[in-house]
Structures are given as structure tokens and as C-alpha cells.
A = this chain, B = another copy of it.
């Protein structure tokens, strides 16, 4: 039986890019998700095995992962932009099924569990910058808290041995094909507003800084984690560079060669003031560093 890499949440932004990269080099990848469009393989550009799962169906999911040796977990039904409107339903719909899923993976003999966490939200407001993995974790939105709790359960449930894991605390990814449905992705949402001829809504004064990482760099980090066996680690995956909302708009104006219309509204208490990640541990452990220049990444994204 071939041991496969299962990508859970393969229909999403990071999932599609990851499946495409793995399929392009002939690695045994299986795309897992709640449902797939019929033209999914066309979107990916390569033949790919698809398995539809109901993440809340513990028995059914477990039956479908028997030939999976590496799990990359991207499934998430929440979003940072939802703020704290759904704190308890986020808890029930994200955290509880994850605890079951981690146990199912251990029971099925999965060797490595790679969890895509959120370096942008698990820390909350920073005490110092750039943020390393020893920084206190005090999320100020529900999204970040569910990610943090899942990380803790992965760590505790694997404490007695067996399955290895990496919690990848990815900063703010951007790139071609990012959906704006969940309100994630400043760059995607700026491009969408421009396409619609609407001004970009800026919360607060536009000084909030984030650490933007091009999707190919994110995929490189996940693949490095797939290929480094036996880890039990929590790693920041970020560029190490902070860019304000106004910086991003200015850079996009350079790339597009035109002015972007903006509209300022009140800031949100569930946005951390700043987020810049120190990813030196990922360099040391995975040999990973980001390669993409920001302007070049924006050019690819603006297409």
C-alpha cells in the first residue's frame, strides 16, 4: 500500500497550491475536503485523487485515512475577520472535531501531522517584535484561540510518542487565487475592490502592520515540514518584515501603476496592533527561508 500525503482542506487557497505542487512532481497526494467542484483536477492542472469527507463524522473520516502517512490539516470553518461574533460556535465547530480528528490520525497510524496554524493571530498583541515562538500566546479573536487550542491538543495527544507533528504558525499568506469570501487576505480584497470599482475599506488609520508571505514560500515551508521526519515542533513561518496597510496599498499602486481609492472606518478591537514573525527556528529546523520579493509576489498576484 502506497503511503500518501493527505491534504485536508484541499479546496482552499493554500490547499490548491499545495496539491498542485505535490502533484506536479509526482508525489502521492490525496485531496480531502467536504466537497469538490467537478473541474477540481482542471483547476489543479494534474490528475489528483479526491476524497470527500464530513469532518464531523469521526468513523467515516477514520475509514478514509488508512493509507495516509502524512496529514496536512488546513480545514477551518472560521476566519479572523469574523471577530468574536461566534466565539462559542467556533469552539464547537472547530475545536471539538479537531480533537477527534487528531485521535483518529493517531489510531490510524498516521506518521506525521502538519497543522497550518496562524502566526498572525495566536500571539495577540505583541510584547516585542519580531515575535518568536517563546512569545506569550494570548489571542484576541476567536479564530486565533481555536488555532492555539488545536496546537495544544496536537502536542499533548502525541506526548507519549507515536505520531510526529509540526504546528506551522503561518503569517499572512497572499498570492494568485486567494478567495475573499471569508474576508481573509488584505491583498486579495484590495484587488477585488479595485475590480469592482469600490474604494478599499481601511480599519483604523492604516498603520496596523502584518507579515505578508507569498504562497510559494508557504508551500515551500509545508513541503520542508513534510520531508523532515520525526519532528515535534511549533514553528513560525513568516517573512520577518512588517508592512502597514498603507505600505501594501502603496506597493500595489507601484505594481499597478495607478492610484487606489480608500475609505477609512473605525478600527476593530479584534485586530492585533502589529504582527511580525521571527522565523529563525524554521530556518534552523526545516532549512526554510522565504525567497520571494514582495513586489514580485504582488505582480504575480495582480496577474
In the bound complex, do residue B145 and residue A156 qualify as a contact, i.e. CB atoms below 8 Å apart?
Answer: yes
How distant is the Cα of A84 from the Cα of B156 in the complex, in angstroms? 8
In the bound complex, do residue A159 and residue B127 qualify as a contact, i.e. CB atoms below 8 Å apart?
Answer: no
**A99 at the A/B interface (Cβ < 8 Å)?**
yes
Summarize A's interface: helix, strand, loop or mixed.
Answer: helix
**A9 at the A/B interface (Cβ < 8 Å)?**
no
Residue in B closest to A103 when the chains form the complex, CB atoms? B88
In the bound complex, do residue B134 and residue A127 qualify as a contact, i.e. CB atoms below 8 Å apart?
Answer: yes
Q: How many copies make up the complex?
A: 2
Which B residues touch A46, using CB under 8 A?
none
In the bound complex, do residue B153 and residue A84 qualify as a contact, i.e. CB atoms below 8 Å apart?
Answer: no
How distant is the Cα of A100 from the Cα of B87 in the complex, in angstroms? 11
Q: Mark A113-129, 1 if CB is under 8 A from B, else 0.
A: 00000000000000100
**A259 at the A/B interface (Cβ < 8 Å)?**
no
Number of residues in A with C-beta < 8 Å to the partner?
31
In the complex where A136-B134, A140-B159 touch, is A153 in contact with B103 (Cβ < 8 A)? no
In the bound complex, do residue B156 and residue A142 qualify as a contact, i.e. CB atoms below 8 Å apart?
Answer: yes
Interface residues of A in 76-133 (CB under 8 A from B): 84, 87-88, 91-92, 96, 99-100, 103, 127
Residue in B closest to A100 when the chains form the complex, CB atoms? B88
Which B residues touch A99, using CB under 8 A?
87-88, 91-92
**A39 at the A/B interface (Cβ < 8 Å)?**
no
In the bound complex, do residue A159 and residue B100 qualify as a contact, i.e. CB atoms below 8 Å apart?
Answer: no
How distant is the Cα of A179 from the Cα of B127 in the complex, in angstroms? 41
**A15 at the A/B interface (Cβ < 8 Å)?**
no
Which B residues touch A2, using CB under 8 A?
none
Residue in B closest to A134 when the chains form the complex, CB atoms? B136
Cross-interface CB contact of A145 among B96, B127, B152, B270, cutoff 8 Å? B152
A-B residue pairs in contact (CB < 8 Å), sample of 16: A84-B156, A87-B156, A87-B157, A88-B157, A91-B99, A92-B99, A96-B96, A127-B134, A134-B136, A135-B136, A137-B137, A140-B159, A141-B156, A148-B152, A149-B149, A149-B152
The 5 closest A-B CB pairs, nearest first, are A88-B99, A145-B152, A91-B99, A87-B156, A136-B136
